[in-house]
Amino acid sequence: MRHRLVLLAIAGLALSACTAQAEPLPAAMTAPPPATTSTTTTTPAPEPPPCEPRSRACVRLSTKQAWLVTNGVTDLGPVPISHGGVAHPTPTGTYPVAWKDAEHTSSSYGDSMPFSVFFAPGGIAFHQGDLATDSHGCVRLDLASAQVFFANLNAGDLVEVLP
């Protein structure tokens, strides 16, 4: 009988240990983790340039912007530009790139025209220059943009200039 009581006591302890483990956890431990909100934002895709998909370069004079494009998809831009004013307007239309000159100087005005890409009659070109003033009809770009346009435009590529 004594052994039986000892066994019952041991069983009771074992049962109480099991029930102690089975007790519910405190509410703080059982509550689901708070919902997290995502802080990632998606940047909207840039608006496609306003020119025809066949154009390799696109210029919109009214907004003073230019793009470098491949099959209608923007490679660079919009980038800020300056262009011809009332006295020397930049012609609108679609023109093929005629030639390039990395260190050109204007024969008409004596101005330096680094990274020139000529595309329209009358010596009209993309080139690096002052963005704060009107040009003599050319499309001026900042230095980095002029270098990219120069490196990526080739003879025969189409340049579209919109009003």
65-70/99-105 β-pairing = unpaired
* pLDDT of amino acid 51: 96
Map out the domains of the chain as residue ranges: 57-162
* pLDDT of amino acid 48: 84
Three-state secondary structure string covering 138-157: CEEECHHHHHHHHHHCCCCC
Fold of 57-162: L,D-transpeptidase catalytic domain-like (2.40.440)
Q: State pTM to two decimals.
A: 0.72
Q: Is the dihedral of CA 65, 72, 119, 99 positive or negative?
A: positive
Q: 78 near 139, Cβ under 8 Å?
A: no
The tokens describing 72, both together, are 């209608």
* pLDDT of amino acid 139: 98
* pLDDT of amino acid 1: 44
* pLDDT of amino acid 9: 40
Give the start-end residues of each E strand in the chain: 57-60, 65-70, 73-80, 93-96, 99-105, 112-120, 124-128, 139-141, 158-162
Question: Could you list the pLDDT tens digit for every one of the 163 residues in the chain?
Answer: 444 433 334 334 333 333 334 444 445 445 555 555 556 667 676 678 999 999 999 999 999 999 999 999 999 999 999 999 999 999 999 999 999 999 999 999 999 999 999 999 999 999 999 999 999 999 999 999 999 999 999 999 999 999 9
Q: Is the dihedral of CA 117, 120, 122, 126 positive or negative?
A: negative
* pLDDT of amino acid 153: 98
